[in-house]
C-alpha cells in the first residue's frame, strides 16, 4: 500500500516535471527577446502574460500554498522545478518564484503579523504588490560586512524615523514596499516601508551588466522617513539574524535556477561544436574541446548534488549556515566556469547577442558578489572549521 502511494507521488512528480519542461521550452523560451534585455515594460508585460498561462496550467508558484494558487513543493522538489524554470531569463518571474519577491514572501510568512500579512504578504503573493530588500549601503556603510550598517531608526512618539542611504536594491524601481534594515537602540531591526512614503526617495536606477532584471538596482535615500510603530517586521534587534536566514533561502534558489541557465549554455555550445568544423574535423572531435565539455559536466553534476543536499537539510529543518556558504561559493563559481566555457567553445558567436550565451554570462557573473562574495564565504568557512575543529 505504502509503495503504491510512493509510486503515485513519483508519477505525479514526473508528470509535473515533464509539463513544466514543456512549458519552459515551448512557451517561455520562445518569448525571449535578447534585444529587450533592459526593457522593463516589455519584461513586465511578457512575464505577466506567461504567469496567467502558467496559473491556468497548474504550474505556478513552487513555494506558494495551494490556497494562494501554488504548489508548495518541498525544498528538494524545488531543485528540479527551479532548474527547469531557470533555463529561461523570463522563467522565475513568469512562474512566481523570482527574487526579491520569493525570499521576501518566505520571511513575511514567518514574521508578519496578521495586519502586516493582509497589507504586504497577501498582495505580494497575488502579484498585486512588489517588494524589495534594502540592506546594502555605499561606503562607509554596510556591504560585505553587515556590522557596518549606518542607516538608523529613531523612536518618536508616533513611531519611528528612518535615515540612511542604500544602494543596489534589486527590484526597488518598481517595488511598492521595502523591507529596510536599520540600526535601533535594540540592535539591527527590520522595517516595512511603503514606497510612496515621502521620506523614501529613489535617487536612480544603477545600470549593471545584469540583463532582464525585474525592477533595477536602485540607489535610495531615506530622509526623515516616518513610519508607524507597527512598521517593525519581527522583533527589534534581530535584524542580522533574520538577514542571514533570508539569505540562506535566497542563495539556495539562485543556485537551483542558475544550474538551469548554465546547463542551457552548455547544451547550446554542444550543439555548436557538433556542427562546426576546424582543422579537418568537427570541433567536438578535438580533445581540448572534449576536456572542456567534460569539466563543465563535472561542475554541473557536483553543483546539482550539493544543491540537493542543502535542500534536503532544509526539508529536515537542519541548520545550514555552513553548508549554505560552501554551496554558494561552489555553485556560483561552477556555473560561471560552465558559461565561460560555453562562450569560449562557441567562438565569436558565443560573445554575440545572436545567441543567449553572452547574456547568460552577464546574468551569472554578479552571483559571485551578491548574497555574500566568494571571499567572504571562504573566510567564514575557514574560520568556522578551524575554530570549531570541524573534521573534513
Ligand X SMILES: Cc1cc2nc3c(=O)[nH]c(=O)nc-3n(C[C@H](O)[C@H](O)[C@H](O)COP(=O)(O)OP(=O)(O)OC[C@H]3O[C@@H](n4cnc5c(N)ncnc54)[C@H](O)[C@@H]3O)c2cc1C
Which residues in this chain contact ligand X in the complex, by CB under 6 A? 100, 133-136, 143-144, 168-170, 208, 210, 217, 366, 369-370, 373, 375-376, 379
Distance of closest approach, residue 136 Cβ to ligand X, in angstroms: 3
Nearer to ligand X, 272 or 367 (CB): 367
- What residues pair up with 153 in beta bridges, in sequence order? 162
CA distance 69 to 56: 10
Distance of closest approach, residue 173 Cβ to ligand X, in angstroms: 11
Nearer to ligand X, 47 or 243 (CB): 243
Q: Which three cell numbers stand for residue 289?
A: 574541446
CA distance 112 to 105: 10
CA distance 206 to 258: 23
Angle, alpha carbons 311-317-323 (nearest 5°): 50
Give the E-state strand segments of 83-158 in sequence order.
131-134, 152-155
Nearer to ligand X, 36 or 362 (CB): 362
Nearer to ligand X, 233 or 283 (CB): 233
Nearer to ligand X, 22 or 375 (CB): 375
- Exposure string over 341-357, b if 16+ CB within 10 A, otherwise e: bbbebbeeebeeeebbb
Nearer to ligand X, 134 or 289 (CB): 134
3-state secondary structure of 352: coil
Distance of closest approach, residue 130 Cβ to ligand X, in angstroms: 12
Which residue lies nearest ligand X, judged by its C-beta?
143
Distance of closest approach, residue 240 Cβ to ligand X, in angstroms: 13
Distance of closest approach, residue 308 Cβ to ligand X, in angstroms: 25
Return all residues near 215 (Cβ < 8 A) that are at least 6 apart: 40, 130, 132, 170, 171, 172, 173, 174, 175
Distance of closest approach, residue 141 Cβ to ligand X, in angstroms: 8
Angle, alpha carbons 304-310-315 (nearest 5°): 120
Amino acid at each position: 500500500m505504502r509503495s503504491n502511494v510512493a509510486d503515485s507521488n513519483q508519477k505525479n512528480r514526473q508528470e509535473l516535471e515533464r509539463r513544466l519542461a514543456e512549458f519552459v521550452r515551448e512557451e517561455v523560451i520562445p518569448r525571449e527577446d535578447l534585444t529587450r534585455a533592459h526593457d522593463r515594460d516589455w519584461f513586465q508585460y511578457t512575464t505577466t502574460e506567461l504567469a496567467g498561462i502558467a496559473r491556468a496550467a497548474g504550474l505556478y508558484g513552487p513555494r506558494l500554498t495551494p490556497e494562494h494558487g501554488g504548489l508548495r513543493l518541498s525544498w528538494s522538489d524545488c531543485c528540479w522545478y527551479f532548474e527547469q524554470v531557470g533555463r529561461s531569463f523570463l522563467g522565475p518571474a513568469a512562474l512566481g518564484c523570482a527574487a526579491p519577491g520569493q525570499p521576501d514572501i518566505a520571511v513575511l510568512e514567518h514574521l508578519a503579523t496578521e495586519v502586516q500579512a493582509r497589507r504586504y504578504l497577501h498582495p505580494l503573493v497575488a502579484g498585486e504588490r512588489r517588494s524589495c530588500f534594502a540592506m546594502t549601503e555605499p561606503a562607509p556603510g554596510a556591504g560585505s560586512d553587515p556590522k557596518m550598517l549606518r542607516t538608523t531608526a529613531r523612536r518618536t512618539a508616533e513611531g519611528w524615523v528612518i535615515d540612511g542611504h542604500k544602494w543596489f536594491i534589486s527590484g526597488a524601481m518598481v517595488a511598492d514596499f521595502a523591507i529596510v534594515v536599520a540600526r535601533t537602540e535594540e540592535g539591527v531591526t527590520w522595517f516595512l516601508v511603503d514606497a510612496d512614503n515621502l521620506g523614501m526617495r529613489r535617487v536612480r536606477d544603477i545600470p549593471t551588466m545584469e540583463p532582464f532584471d525585474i525592477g533595477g538596482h536602485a540607489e535610495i535615500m531615506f530622509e526623515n522617513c516616518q513610519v508607524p510603530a507597527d512598521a517593525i517586521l519581527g522583533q527589534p534587534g534581530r535584524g542580522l539574524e533574520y538577514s542571514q536566514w533570508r539569505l540562506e533561502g535566497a542563495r539556495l534558489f539562485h543556485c537551483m535556477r542558475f544550474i538551469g541557465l548554465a546547463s542551457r549554455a552548455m547544451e547550446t555550445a554542444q550543439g555548436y561544436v557538433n556542427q562546426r568544423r576546424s582543422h579537418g574535423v568537427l570541433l567536438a572531435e578535438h580533445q581540448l574541446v572534449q576536456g572542456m565539455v567534460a569539466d563543465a559536466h563535472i561542475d554541473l553534476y557536483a553543483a546539482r548534488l550539493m544543491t540537493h543536499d542543502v535542500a534536503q537539510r532544509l526539508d529536515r529543518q537542519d541548520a545550514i549556515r555552513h553548508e549554505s556558504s560552501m554551496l554558494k561559493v561552489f555553485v556560483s563559481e561552477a556555473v560561471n566556469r560552465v558559461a565561460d566555457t560555453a562562450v569560449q567553445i562557441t567562438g565569436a558567436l558565443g560573445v554575440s547577442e545572436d545567441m543567449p550565451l553572452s547574456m547568460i554570462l552577464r546574468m551569472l557573473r554578479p552571483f559571485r558578489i551578491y548574497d555574500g562574495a566568494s571571499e567572504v564565504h571562504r573566510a567564514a568557512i575557514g574560520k568556522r572549521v578551524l575554530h570549531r575543529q570541524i573534521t573534513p
